[in-house]
Amino acid sequence: MKSYLARPPENVRIEQVNALFKQSPFLFLGLLSAILIIVFYFWDSSISHRGLLFWLFANLSLLGLRVIMIRRFHRIKPKKTAVKWGYLFSFSAMLSGMLWGSFPVFLLDTGDLSGVFLFTTILTGTVAGSLVPMSVFIPAHQMYTIFSLVPLIYVSLNDGQPVLTSIGIILIIYLGVMLVFSLISNANVRESIQLRFENLDLLEEFRHQKQLADRANLDKSRFLAATSHDLRQPLHALDLYLGALKGLLTTDEQRELLNRAISSSHSLGELLNALLDISRLDAQQVDINRTTFALHELLSDLVSEFQPLAHNRGLRIRLQDCAFFVKSDPVLLARIIRNFLSNAVKYSDTGEIVIFCEPEAESVRINVSDQGRGISLAEQENIFSEFYQLENPERDRSKGLGLGLASVRRMADLLDHPVEVQSEPGKGSCFSVRIPVSEYIDQHSDGVDMPVSASVEGMFIICVDDEKEVRDALRALLRGWDCEVLMADSEQGVLDELAASDYPQPDAIISDYRLRDNRSGIEVIAAINRFFDTQIPAIIMTGDTGPEIRQQAQTVKARLMFKPVSPENLLTALASMNRG
């Protein structure tokens, strides 16, 4: 139940005063019209012109002062003193009511019943008209209502004429009704304002909590991205040591143990890479390089990549014609389709996997359909969550990590490529992604390097890393490939060594990104290039995933390799440099 007389909170009262001053100009126009009608009608009556003019001048003067008051209020926009301004307005409303109340006491001829009826009608009209704009601040409306009606009621009841007595009684009832309506209207306005403030508070709290959640998620992702160097570094060294150890083992038992160690290291690397990929996607630290390219060529390469694996499982991959040019990031799009194909091969026992395209208005839908086990409708949304896997309650690493489709959803959102899944248990699944088509070919698109022979024998390579275990592992690995190696732990160290001995120009440079003394591998490569006065092929090994590193690497035309770097990938990268 509403409390009509309860004192509202201070912020609600301030808002009530603001509404009062905002709505008053329309009320003043009505009052001005009523005043002019009264003067015009009674000008030819028995009322003296001097009295009418004085009443008119007093009302116009008061209206002028009230207009000045409103203009000043809107100019200074008071906060702390707003309620005082409300009471000032109420005082002016009381004065206005007194001027209207003075008319029947000093000027109105009660013998002129038509004049009495006209004045009563206009006055009650102004009281009713002021109900909505002035009842927002209850003292203002009640002051005007009481001081304008009570004198007319007094005159009507004391005149003695039955008609005027009836008018007086009706006005008493009218006064009571207006005062009650004023309280009800004020309570409704007050409740509306309070609800608005509560909604604003809830909205602000929601925004605050959302900001906290977003900040926490972003901080988590930035933390993972920033600490990825420290996380990857020991794993990177382990992979290099295992690669160097491969050529030193002599028995099958030793090789079997090494293969198991390599498999465990690769599994750990896959988990770390997947987690850091998701953190980079969440932190929006992934560069998007949109270009126009032939979709069929990208899909053909992916089919060739997965065909041997599918053949081993007794499956067939068929690519239908997808002769479209599309606008997207080919690397990220390939990762999305690659995940679809990987799941199709993993969860299919028989049949074929079909890749087909469906043109739409200004886009094309790429579908990867299989005849595998299918996914129930209840599970179709869950599969895009982190670490969620079907048919793997025991968390068998060989069945994957449950992060692939989580990354797919993030990459698709980043590219604005909607991803959908349609599936029926026992009949198979169809994963699709929709991408925009392009009507032209980008003549400046980067081509894809063809596979190269992994031959690095005789290469002279400068390696810079401030961690001894990484230098030792890298030295053992490169010498195992019959490479000549110059190792250093800093920019100054490598420059001092080059200046002290007559070294030939290196075939390649391998440097860690973060080095001691706040130096970077980019600066080391630039310094070595200046020393030999030429551009030397270079590799930056880093665990950092920030987008700025890619931009910095481009300044020295260095290739980025993210830790942990497998010996095979390093061998391929060096061989491509040797070939060049």
Give whole-number Cα distances, 552 to 235, 348, 540, 558, in Å.
Answer: 25, 44, 10, 9
464-489 confidence digits (pLDDT tens): 998 888 888 899 899 888 899 999 99
Asked if 545 and 281 count as a contact pair (C-beta separation under 8 A), the reply is no
Summary count for the chain: helices (H), strands (E):
16, 12
* pLDDT of 307 strictly over 90: no
Torsion of CA 460, 465, 468, 472, to 10 degrees: -30
Residue ranges of domains in the chain: 10-207, 291-436, 460-579
Q: Which of the 8 DSSP states describes residue 446?
A: P
Is 80 exceeded by the pLDDT of residue 112?
yes
Mean pLDDT of 46-73: 94
Give the architecture-level CATH label for domain 460-579: 3-Layer(aba) Sandwich (3.40)
* Averaged pLDDT for residues 94-115: 94
Percent of the chain at pLDDT above 90? 34
pLDDT 10s digits, 116-171: 999 999 999 999 999 989 989 999 999 999 999 999 999 999 998 999 999 999 99
Tens-place pLDDT, residues 515-556: 888 889 999 999 999 999 999 999 998 877 666 777 888 888
Beta pairing, strands 291-294 & 325-328: antiparallel
CB-CB neighbours of 268 under 10 Å:
15
Return the closest-CA partner of residue 574 out of 475, 455, 470, 487: 455
Closest CA to 127 of 115, 140, 117: 140
pLDDT at 265 over 80: no
pLDDT at residue 115 greater than cutoff 80:
yes
Which region among 29-33, 110-114, 369-373 has the lowest average model confidence (pLDDT)?
Answer: 369-373
Measuring CA to CA, which residue among 310, 305, 573 is closest to residue 454?
A: 573
pLDDT of 392 over the 50 cut? no
Instruction: Convert the pLDDT of each residue in 550-565 to its tens digit.
Output: 788 888 888 888 777 8
Assign 386 a pLDDT band (cuts: 50, 70, 90): low
- At residue 441, the pLDDT reads 38
pTM for the model stands at: 0.44
Q: At what angle do helices 138-159 and 162-246 cross, to 10 degrees?
A: 170
Concatenated DSSP letters of 242-259: HHHHHTT--SHHHHHHHH
Q: What is the mean pLDDT of the chain?
A: 83
Higher pLDDT, 273 or 195: 195
Nearest to 340 by CA among 295, 291, 407: 407
pLDDT over 70, % of the chain: 85
Residue 156 near residue 165 (C-beta atoms within 8 A): yes
Distance of alpha carbon 289 from alpha carbon 145, whole angstroms: 72
CATH code of the domain occupying 291-436: 3.30.565.10
Q: State how far Cα 2 lies from the chain centre.
A: 41
**pLDDT bracket for residue 427 (50, 70, 90):** confident
Cα–Cα distance, 305 to 414 (Å, whole number): 25
The mean pLDDT value for 98-118 works out to 94
Give the SS3 label for residue 165.
helix
Distance CA 160, CA 368 (A): 98
Tokens matching residue 286? 């992934």
CA angle 307, 310, 315 (to 5 degrees): 115
**Is pLDDT at 490 greater than 70 in this prediction?**
yes
Q: CA nearest 235: which of 274, 280, 279, 272? A: 272
Contact 258, 242 (CB under 8 A): yes
**Between residues 4 and 577, the one the model is more confident about:** 577
**Any idea what the Cα angle at residue 9 is, between residues 8 and 12, rounded to 5°?**
85
Q: Please tell me the total number of residues recorded for the chain in this structure.
A: 580
Longest dimension (CA), the chain: 132
Would you state the pLDDT for residue 411? 82
How much is the average pLDDT of 160-186?
A: 93
